[in-house]
Amino acid sequence: MSIQIRKDLCTGCGACVSACPGSLFNLKDNKVVLRHPEDCWGCTACLKACAFGAIYTFLGADIGGKGTELSISREGTKLHWTFVKPNGGKHSITVDARNANRY
């Protein structure tokens, strides 16, 4: 799983920096930077922590189909998971996030 950052959506709040158990994020010029992306084990804590949808990843073929993009945004205690297929098809689900305010 490869974590990607949308710099235009990043506010530099640092929530992903705090959430990452591998300490893989830094802030530089008020934007998040992923240090050592090869060390990411795909826990998605950073995706769940980002309230702005600035972090996303591509899912493996066995999960969402090859090239499917996953982004997660947070609104209060709800997590919105959005899957975008390479053909443009989109599917979203919303789940309660008991730990959403932890980040």
Q: Would you place residue 103 in the very low, low, confident or very high pLDDT band (cuts 50, 70, 90)?
A: very low
Question: Could you say which of 3.40.50.920, 3.30.70.20, 3.30.300.30, 3.40.50.10860 is the CATH number of the domain covering 2-102?
Answer: 3.30.70.20
33 sits in the region (left: phi over 0; alpha: psi -120 to 50; else beta) called: beta
Whole-model pTM? Answer: 0.64
DSSP 35: S
In whole numbers, what is the pLDDT of the chain averaged over residues? Answer: 82
| Residue-wise pLDDT tens digits, 6-43 | 999 999 999 999 999 888 999 999 999 988 888 887 78
Q: What is the DSSP string of 55-97?
A: EEEE--TTTT-TT-EEEEEEETTEEEEEEE-TTS-EEEEEEE-
- The bridge status of strand 25-28 relative to strand 55-58 is unpaired
Confidence of residue 86 (pLDDT cuts 50, 70, 90): confident
Residue 64 confidence class, pLDDT cut points 50, 70, 90: low
Strand partners, 72: 81
Distances (CA, A) of 35 to 56, 57, 58, 72: 16, 16, 18, 21
Please indicate whether residue 5 or residue 66 has the higher confidence score (pLDDT): 5
pLDDT of residue 9: 93
